[in-house]
A and B are shown apart, each in its own frame.
Chain A
Amino acid sequence: DAGITQSPRHKVTETGTPVTLRCHQTENHRYMYWYRQDPGHGLRLIHYSYGVKDTDKGEVSDGYSVSRSKTEDFLLTLESATSSQTSVYFCAISAGSSGYQETQYFGPGTRLLVL
């Protein structure tokens, strides 16, 4: 497995509370991604980063923010969790190249339940 860890692996929280998920890589890859996976929707991109402090929105970014202060860490924050954000969250990394996507390597996922 590529050197990607996610923490926590499971979390139960209440509506309205802030939640931060962490993705850590040891591969020194340039690109990092946060996806959510829900039944019937496949994987949907939330945010991605193409370098330290360089981030951009994905398909379903509302209600989420990200930060990348170091190459190895990419944080996903739910400012005020809602029940619709109950999901499985996956982090992925990619070496990336200018102009096209290479293989992405996925972390083990974080199961988030918002009550």
Chain B
Amino acid sequence: SQQGEEDPQALSIQEGENATMNCSYKTSINNLQWYRQNSGRGLVHLILIRSNEREKHSGRLRVTLDTSKKSSSLLITASRAADTASYFCATDDNAGNMLTFGGGTRLMVKP
């Protein structure tokens, strides 16, 4: 079973627009991470937010975490064609030994 579930499953936007992806999870976490995967490649870490943090920024990325709603969102501002990829959220288990990944959001940014 997947701890994290992304929404939407697919998103298509024009270059320059903002893209928002959401992640919901089921159990308590220590931290939540977002990863990007370009077609045919391995996952690349984007950002980690701890359970005691509410918002975090990294360049054009903004991540929020609401532990009361067990949800997180990833905002990519001023999107570029190069942002086209699949985006995954991942949460750790209570023991902190492993991550559980959601099914991902496929983002397409049209030039």
Contacts and interface: CB of A to CB of B under 8 A. Distances in A.
Nearest to B33: A103
B48 interface: yes
A59 B98 CA distance: 10
Interface string B18-44: 000000000000110100000011111
Could you say which interface size class chain B belongs to?
Answer: 20 to 34
A33 to B, nearest CB: 7
Contacts, number: 65
A48 interface: yes
Name the residue in B33, B44, B45, B104 with the highest tally of chain A Cβ atoms < 10 Å from its Cβ: B45
19 contacts: A45-B98, A45-B100, A48-B98, A59-B100, A90-B42, A98-B96, A99-B30, A101-B30, A101-B97, A101-B99, A102-B48, A103-B33, A103-B45, A103-B48, A104-B43, A104-B45, A108-B41, A108-B42, A109-B41
Interface of B: 1-2, 30-31, 33, 40-45, 48, 88, 90, 92, 95-104
